[in-house]
Structure 1
């Protein structure tokens, strides 16, 4: 069984979690109010008060319930609440206070609204993947053309490396079962990565709907950021597991491998830092 991507909050771990991540993760328990403070009661009957005013975002995983009063108090102190799957590998919903600090969101909107600043951010994103290419004068369409060629070359190289027959990327929404094994793993890995990035984006007070490369989709910023890690985290995993799975897709094997890679590359440290650097946000 794979290690956990996100540490389940306990009384002993809480300070470490708060120092390390822009959010805390809770599962199998109840979030409620006791004497005007936010209290977490775990399934193991461990009870502790959360320093909610110091926490940016609370991720509620499987087996959790939350009282109306707890949500009301969290809203007054501008703590974001997200409802996610285990280890945030699914992202369901987010609740944000209308009075939450909007500095990062304003900065994101200002940069995305200015054509020069938006292109500058896009170039910095591509520079993370094209370290040997001068992108300083490239337009967005030129950058996207380079990216398309890079991804195709990546697929071809991985197919050769792992001796996998590859007919190209192919996926239609709602028709997962019709894809070949490699495409199934890529699709599942992408979905898990998007969920993790969504949690981080919301924890930083940003909008997933305002991107710099992608547009016209539900989660442009999430797709922008996820693209920074796909080659190492998703594509290589998909081709390597194609051989190990022997033509039979196993969801749990794929998710365990994904978790291990997220942990190995320290994504939950790296991703928030990358977003802060790319958008020049306050840390």
Structure 2
């Protein structure tokens, strides 16, 4: 038998877990290629190498050209490639998942399609933002109102802390430069956070579009999870960068977000929080590892093994 053409994919146990990876790398105006098991980025200044298996998300900005082999390596390493716009503030597409099991995806779909379980997950998300309050009896309208008040208070507090003039959240999605410095920094920081969370969501095999609080958007679940960390990461970073009056605000913001994500262990917390929301009652160590097993749905019996012929031992009628 002839061998399967192409580079063989790495074994699952050779890959770095999503929560243990680097957060993200933003590239623009360069050629992205592959050298062995590293992603290379080349421009007029030279070439840098990045181990693909340790990368959470590769954000590909304008002017990037990506080779077929680079995408093969990213896909087989479970690193999420996200195509973004200039300054990283637009999202266009993303790559494949690191997961080999649909367990979390099935739990997500089951929870989001039942009103009681969907409300339970939404309340749990708000409970993570209000750790000292009992939100178990609050309606979604009450929760949204409380969250809105919290965010407005947060903006005022960081404005007072940094001395940055703050009016309100105001930005034009079609004109990034039209906003003031803090609003530009908030947009850049939030987009980076979305990219990081998107990488974890996809790596775990969940659907970015099946949200519990947000709905109707292809990244609703990403917005849900990112909201858990905005107050800790995006908002303080944006005000800290805005007060510096830097020449390249988007780049400075991305670097600051990357540092905050590392210092706050956001990747590991994000993976743990998603599992606890979708699989309540299970400790992280109890979550079954991903396995390359395909099963068949059997109705009354639930699941049966795939890759077998059932025609010989079961009647056709």
Q: List alignment gaps of at least 5 residues for structure 2.
A: 1-12, 41-46, 281-286, 289-317
8 Å CA contact 1:181, 1:249 repeated in 2? no
1:83 alignment partner, SS class: strand
1:231 alignment partner, SS class: coil
1:245 alignment partner, SS class: coil
**Which has the larger helix fraction?**
1
CA distance 1:109–1:157, change in 2 (3 Å): same
2:243 alignment partner, SS class: helix
Please give the TM-score of this superposition, normalised by the length of structure 2. 0.66
Q: Deviations over 1:197-224 (max 9, x none)?
A: 1111000101110111111233110011
CA distance 1:68–1:186, change in 2 (3 Å): closer
Please give the TM-score of this superposition, normalised by the length of structure 1. 0.73
Deviation at 1:260, TM superposition (A): 1.1
8 Å CA contact 1:83, 1:92 repeated in 2? no
Structure-2 residue corresponding to 1:227: 227
8 Å CA contact 1:124, 1:278 repeated in 2? yes
Residue 27 of structure 2 corresponds to residue 30 of structure 1: no
1:230 alignment partner, SS class: coil
Deviation at 1:175, TM superposition (A): 1.9
Measure the CA separation in 2 of the matches of 1:70 and 1:165: 47
8 Å CA contact 2:83, 2:93 repeated in 1? no
CA distance 1:159–1:110, change in 2 (3 Å): same
Structure-1 residue corresponding to 2:207: 207
Deviation at 1:181, TM superposition (A): 0.8
8 Å CA contact 2:209, 2:220 repeated in 1? yes
CA distance 1:220–1:174, change in 2 (3 Å): same
Deviation at 1:128, TM superposition (A): 1.0
Structure-1 residue corresponding to 2:82: 84
Structure-2 residue corresponding to 1:254: 253
Structure-2 residue corresponding to 1:150: 150
Q: List alignment gaps of at least 5 residues for structure 1.
A: 1-13, 32-38
Structure-1 residue corresponding to 2:67: 65
8 Å CA contact 1:60, 1:84 repeated in 2? yes
Alignment of 1:87-102 (within 5 A): 93-96=93-96, 101-102=101-102
- Number of matched residues? 248
Structure-2 residue corresponding to 1:236: 236
Measure the CA separation in 1 of the matches of 2:266 and 2:188: 17
